Amino acid sequence: MNSLLIAILTASSCFWSSQGVHEGLPPYQLDEGDCWDKAEEVTPWYFIQCSPSVIMYEKQVRFTFSLRESLATDPLLDSLTTTSRVAYWPTAITYLKDSLYAVAGKRNLRTVIEVWQVPMPVLEEFPMGGTPSGFSMGGEVAYKQTVYSEATEGQDMVSLMVPNRGKANAVFVQFYDSRDLYELDYTNAVPPGTGEDDYPLTRILSSTVGTSEPYVPGLADSRLQCIQSSNHINEGFVYMVFPSPETSTEAYQQGTSIDALFLFDHDRDGVLDEFAQLNQTQLENRSLWEAPDSFWIDRGHVTKPWPYQ
């Protein structure tokens, strides 16, 4: 990001309305976060992966599809990127399940969260038992449903989202202004939709003391800009909140390090039951640092390709 753009985006952080929410272009830090969960389609004949992303200052949401024969490390056979322009500043995106994604952004005073359906692209015809050579079409947005549109202090601008692995239709949402973690139930938005405009939003973890929810001080660390969900043999569902590669490099050059925040759902029931910032030694002791693949059922929805899954 060039220096002029950073200056413009930094200046935008000064505009706050009388309602206690940000107005206009969000702070540039919201363009630096990311969810590392990806969508996959794995078969005996091919392997497709989709990496979603947002480009906040261009008001664009992108889906990049890659086609390989099997392993994610196999040579790339084809790639396809589709771009959708939106009427708000997109700040976060995550893969949910079954071609569904959550997209969040800022429209004037309101923070917006939508559920999108983006099916995998159509493949070119290929012989039975063979491998497709590429994509023929598709990868476009097939469905959208707004599940949140509010101008509420404490719930202003989404910085991170990740699916709650333990519940059928729930997504964890962290808001930028409060840094608190909420859970949003998007059941009524699952295609074709129920027609009911009811999407319960519940605060489950707090970044400050004095609330009824568990206090997790690591949530307040604005350097933790990325998130990934995983399924660990021993630890259950693991949600890792960590700095971006650029932030980690900057800290390393300054002779410091940043411990990632781990949120655990040990019994996989959809309720978070342990929260801790862990250093490398602690991670190694729990087989969470450079652990063999046998410890992970998947990481960021990325599974071991067929037939080894």
Segment 66-93, tens digit of pLDDT: 999 887 778 899 999 999 999 999 999 9
CA separation for the pair 11, 125 (Å, rounded): 51
Q: How far is CA 274 from CA 98, 216, 239, 263, in A?
A: 28, 10, 11, 6
Enter the tokens of residue 152: 């509420």
Does 95 fall in a domain?
Answer: yes
177 C-beta neighbours (distance < 10 Å), count: 17
All residue ranges of the chain with pLDDT < 50 are 1-14, 304-309
Task: Provide the domain limits for residue 257.
Answer: 3-303
pLDDT, position 202: 97
pLDDT, position 288: 85
CA separation for the pair 99, 97 (Å, rounded): 6
Does 115 fall in a domain?
Answer: yes
Does 150 fall in a domain?
Answer: yes
Amino acid, single-letter form, for residue 103: V
CA separation for the pair 9, 27 (Å, rounded): 6
pLDDT, position 305: 40
Contact status, residue 60 vs residue 53, Cβ threshold 8 Å: no
pLDDT, position 289: 77
Which of 283, 155, 142, 158 lies closest to 227 in space, CA to CA? Answer: 158
Does 192 fall in a domain?
Answer: yes
The whole model's pTM is what? 0.89
95 C-beta neighbours (distance < 10 Å), count: 26
Does 26 fall in a domain?
Answer: yes
pLDDT, position 29: 83
Contact status, residue 264 vs residue 275, Cβ threshold 8 Å: yes
Total of domains in the chain: 1
Q: For the chain, what's the residue count?
A: 309
Does 308 fall in a domain?
Answer: no
Does 239 fall in a domain?
Answer: yes
pLDDT, position 16: 55
Does 131 fall in a domain?
Answer: yes
